[in-house]
Amino acid sequence: MQQNPNQRISYRWLGAALARCDHVAEAQNIVHHLTSMASAAWLHQEWVPWMREVDNVRLLDGLRKGGWQG
């Protein structure tokens, strides 16, 4: 992420992971950064076909804990 700070997918996973590990304030900063980059709708639209549904559910749960309204 240092090399490419606009890499949205990495931030998406970082925000979700931080929230799920109860680092909610840090996760909220990441989610705020993500939503300021572009429309927040892309957070769920960029689901990758090889990701298991359970992982997608965990990702969305973490993002919501971080303040995403999706």
Contact 34, 40 (CB under 8 A): yes
Is the CB of residue 34 less than 8 Å from the CB of residue 15? yes
Pick the residue with more confidence: 49 or 62?
A: 62
pLDDT in tens, 38-61: 666 666 665 667 888 898 889 889
Q: Model pTM?
A: 0.79
Domain-by-domain residue ranges, the chain? 8-65
Predicted pLDDT at 39: 63
CA distances 8 to 11, 15, 37, Å, are 5, 10, 8
Give me the pLDDT at residue 44, please.
62
Distance CA 41, CA 25 (A): 22
pLDDT of residue 9: 80
